[in-house]
Amino acid sequence: MLHIFKQWYTRKFSDPNAITLLMLTLGLAAALYFFGTYIIPVMVALVIAYLLDWPVSKLMRMGSSRIVSSTIVMLLFSGVAISIIVGIIPVLWQQLSNFVQDLPSMVEQGKTYLLTLPSNYPELVNPEQIKTILSSVEGHVVTIGQTVLTTSLNSLKNVVAWLVYLILVPLLVFFMLKDKDVLVSGFEQFIPKERKLISQVWQEMNQQIMNYIRGKIFEILIVGSTTFITFTILDLRYAALLGTLVGFSVLIPFVGAALVTIPVALVALFQFGVGSEFWYVIIAYGVIQALDGNLLVPLLFSEAVDLHPVYIIVAVLFFGGLWGFWGVFFAIPLASLVRALLNAWSLSNHEKAESA
């Protein structure tokens, strides 16, 4: 057994480049796992700076200096962010408050409907089943209410931390953009010279990650705004809140669309009943999901790495469990990164075998 392990280790890690790649991967993974909660502002700033570096590079190609380009891009980004905070967040908060206030009446309406089922369908439903369902639903509603209250209290405690983030993150982004070359050269000093595989993995992933992040942001905006406009035309309540949920549901492939269907269907059911308006909402929502999956996703992610749905779901569960929202957002790029690492090791071993 020890001999087999020794052969495997010699075959996989006799190349110094492979050792360097392994140590860097393990070091970054350990740092994110143990200190991820403490460096969230830095990680968020790094992600934003990575996205904004593209327009900065475009401005620099037009003859502008890096500091001027970084300042212009940061001013535009800050303006958009402030517009969203001032214009959209209050609307979403108001609709969420209205939804919470209307929730008891929705529950009562649902209970009334369920209580009529034994008399309407005595062969299929009996009163004991309805009582069991109502007890279970009421228990879940109480649990959800307690969770929301606890989350709200914890959010109040973290207001100061959020205010600090609102100041620190833009500053970090600006300096990361302005001093990119200095920061990159300083980071390279800590990496050994045997980094051929690291460069190979980075070249393979850089454009793919950029395409994925940019495409995912466009997908969220397009799907969310289209859903909001459609629900507004159909006069569905909480159109902005539901549109936002549908937009962010694209972060979780396959699962997100199924989960967000529940609140959309429930709101439409309680508002319109089982009538033509209800089916209009369901059909419109189904058309949006079909266009997203069959037209928008292939158009936006034509250059993305093709991963099997099982790998995508496992990546969403694993990285989402580790880092929450950001883990879900970067689940597919991280899964692609894992595959790129494995491919780099395999390619290194293949080349070494051919040279032998």
pLDDT tens digit string along 50-92?
Answer: 888 888 988 998 888 889 999 999 999 988 888 887 888 888 8
Question: For a pLDDT cut of 70, what percent of the chain falls above it?
Answer: 67
* Residue 146 falls inside a structural domain: yes
* Residue 9 falls inside a structural domain: no
Say yes or no: 278 and 355 in one domain. Answer: yes
- Which residues, at least 6 apart from 194, have a Cβ–Cβ distance to it below 8 Å? 16, 17, 19, 20
Report which residue type is found at 111.
Answer: K
- Element containing residue 70 per DSSP (H, E): helix 66-87
Say yes or no: 207 and 160 in one domain. Answer: no
* Residue 12 falls inside a structural domain: no
Give residue for tokens 């929450």. 324
Q: What residue numbers bound the domain in which 168 lies?
A: 20-177
Say yes or no: 202 and 342 in one domain. Answer: yes
- Which residues, at least 6 apart from 74, have a Cβ–Cβ distance to it below 8 Å? 52, 170, 173, 174, 177
Q: Number of structural domains, the chain? A: 2
pLDDT band at 219 (very low <50, low <70, confident <90, very high): confident
Q: What share of the chain is helix, strand, coil (3-state, %, to 5)?
A: 85, 0, 15
- Element containing residue 164 per DSSP (H, E): helix 159-178
- At residue 222, the pLDDT reads 92
- At residue 234, the pLDDT reads 92
> CA 5 to CA 188: how far, in whole Å?
33
> CA 125 to CA 117: how far, in whole Å?
7
Determine contact, residues 321/252, Cβ cutoff 8 Å.
no
pLDDT band at 49 (very low <50, low <70, confident <90, very high): confident
Say yes or no: 225 and 140 in one domain. Answer: no
Say yes or no: 200 and 324 in one domain. Answer: yes
* Residue 305 falls inside a structural domain: yes
Whether the model clears a pTM of 0.85, i.e. scores above it, the answer is no
Q: Rounded to an integer, what is the distance from CA 277 to the centroid of its chain?
A: 32
Say yes or no: 226 and 110 in one domain. Answer: no
- Residue 52: closest CA among 29, 81, 32, 31: 81
Say yes or no: 103 and 133 in one domain. Answer: yes
List, for residues 292-335, the tens digit of each pLDDT value: 877 887 777 655 556 666 777 777 778 777 777 667 767 777 77
Say yes or no: 99 and 244 in one domain. Answer: no
Say yes or no: 155 and 249 in one domain. Answer: no
pLDDT band at 275 (very low <50, low <70, confident <90, very high): confident
- At residue 353, the pLDDT reads 47
Neighbour count for residue 75 (Cβ, 10 Å): 11
- At residue 217, the pLDDT reads 83
